Chains A and B, each alone.
Chain A
Amino acid sequence: MQRSYRLIGIAILAAAAAAQSPVQMAPAKFANRTNPYEGSETASMAGAKLFARECAACHGANGEGLEKAPSLRRPEVSNATPGALFWVLENGSLRNGMPSFAHLPAPQRWQIVTFLRTLSSTARPAPGP
């Protein structure tokens, strides 16, 4: 009986982990990292260019989400710390179909994070590829 409860508990924990948004899975040491480009207009423009090349095909030109790729204007994303967004870009969410973008140098990933922070407050379209 006790074994059954343990298995049910494990299944519930696994389901909860699967239901978590990738930004919620970022370890605290990553989530607390600060963005070296925070507030930089130049970095945001560079991030918009990178977003158009790397992200827009799945998430939409304005981050509105397409088919399986969710909107990046959701509160979960706009309220996420820069470090958590950086962690998601680095690791992806392979189970959910998002690849890792670790091949981009860290400054480029921070530039994308800088741009993502502007998505919730503006409707600026990303430039075309």
Chain B
Amino acid sequence: MLRNPTILHLAAVAALTIPACLAAEGPFFITYTHQMEEPGNLEIATNSVTGQPASGNRFFGAATEFEYGLKAWWTTEVYLDGQSTQSDSTIFTGYRWENRIRLLPREHLINPVLYVEFENINGADKSLLEVVGHDSQDDLAQPNSDARLDKQREIEAKLILSSYAKGWTIAENFITEKNVHHEPYEFGYSVGVSRPLALAARPERCNVCPENFQLGLEMYGGLGTHADFGLTDTSHYVAPTLAWTLANGTTFKIAPGFGITGASVPFLLRFGVSYEVAQFGRAARHLFGGH
């Protein structure tokens, strides 16, 4: 992705000279809130997951994200996915391009956001950025050489509903996904609730202030397909989450996830790090002589 020296130079200059902001998504890995990326800001993040299906080898899936605020109401994001499976191989599995559009200009009790994503990944993808349909741990046990032959060009849509109330963040996502060539509509959900350890900020610049920590709980899973809607043979996970933001804006996240149905991977450990570069767009315009 960053092989072009100009882009590398730009990224390095931006990271060194531009102030950082608080990363956008709180402690969640799967659930989106209605918080949008600030216009001109670029968030760079990696979110990883490791687990072991009952009949397969341990895997490590990773997604690298580049999230950019185009408008105050429109955020766009590109993901590059890859995975490594023990006693198998390490492969690049594809990319995703998502757009989130905030539907209402003011804050309300419940705030809707429309999410549309195009995925061009293969069947070996193990980043598990969402769980839909009848996704199960058996899908993760196939050898990479077989699974990567399955091309998955999919359109995914989400209705994101979220609220902020008395320091609490409450979010619900309803997901539908469709392979553009074949296969039925698949459905899924994720819900999350989180809260910082302190609501007011301390006056001093600090890394270990309570307001820098956010605790949360996520639950996500599949809801079958349009022909077979329901909970039968679907995966579901419950995951407590913790996010820690340093004074320089770097955020670390971790979430141990517990599979609660037979189709689920028994245990998933997610972890991630993100850094938000403030006004990256302005710096890029100046670098290339714009105003």
Contacts and interface: CB of A to CB of B under 8 A. Distances in A.
Do A and B assemble together? yes
Name the prevailing secondary structure of the A interface residues. Answer: helix
Interface stretch (B119-127, B131-139, B196-204): B196-204
B241 to A, nearest CB: 16
Interface string B14-39: 00001111100010000001011011
- Interface range, B side: 35 or more
Contacts of B107: 90-91, 100, 102
Contacts of B247: 129
Interface residues of A, number: 36
B106 interface: yes
A113 interface: no
A45 interface: yes
Contacts of A111: 200-201
Interface stretch (A49-57, A74-82, A117-125): A49-57
A98 B72 contact: yes
A72 interface: no
Contacts of B39: 97, 99
A94 B20 CA distance: 21
A94 B282 contact: no
A106 B71 contact: no
Interface in A49-108: 49-50, 52-54, 56-58, 67, 90-100, 102-103, 105-108
B92 interface: no
A108 B201 contact: yes
B102 A46 contact: no
Interface in B195-223: 196, 199-205, 211
A94 B102 contact: yes
Given A54-B21, A97-B39, A99-B69, A107 B33 contact: no
A58 B205 contact: no
Nearest to B36: A99
Interface string B180-202: 00000000000000001001111
B105 A46 contact: no
A17 B169 CA distance: 31
B281 to A, nearest CB: 10
Interface in A11-54: 42-43, 45-50, 52-54
A97 B71 contact: yes
30 contacts: A43-B203, A46-B201, A46-B203, A47-B201, A49-B201, A52-B19, A53-B21, A53-B22, A54-B21, A54-B22, A56-B19, A57-B41, A58-B279, A92-B72, A93-B72, A99-B38, A99-B39, A100-B35, A100-B36, A100-B107, A102-B35, A102-B164, A103-B164, A105-B167, A105-B196, A105-B199, A107-B199, A108-B201, A129-B19, A129-B21
Given A102-B107, A129-B248, 14 more contacts: A43-B203, A45-B203, A45-B204, A46-B200, A53-B19, A58-B279, A94-B105, A102-B164, A103-B26, A105-B199, A107-B199, A107-B200, A127-B205, A129-B20
Interface of B: 18-22, 26, 33, 35-36, 38-41, 69, 71-73, 102, 105-107, 164, 166-167, 169, 196, 199-205, 211, 247-249, 278-279, 282
Question: Which 7 pairs across A and B sit closest by C-beta, in order of nearness?
Answer: A57-B278, A45-B203, A107-B200, A105-B199, A129-B19, A46-B201, A94-B72
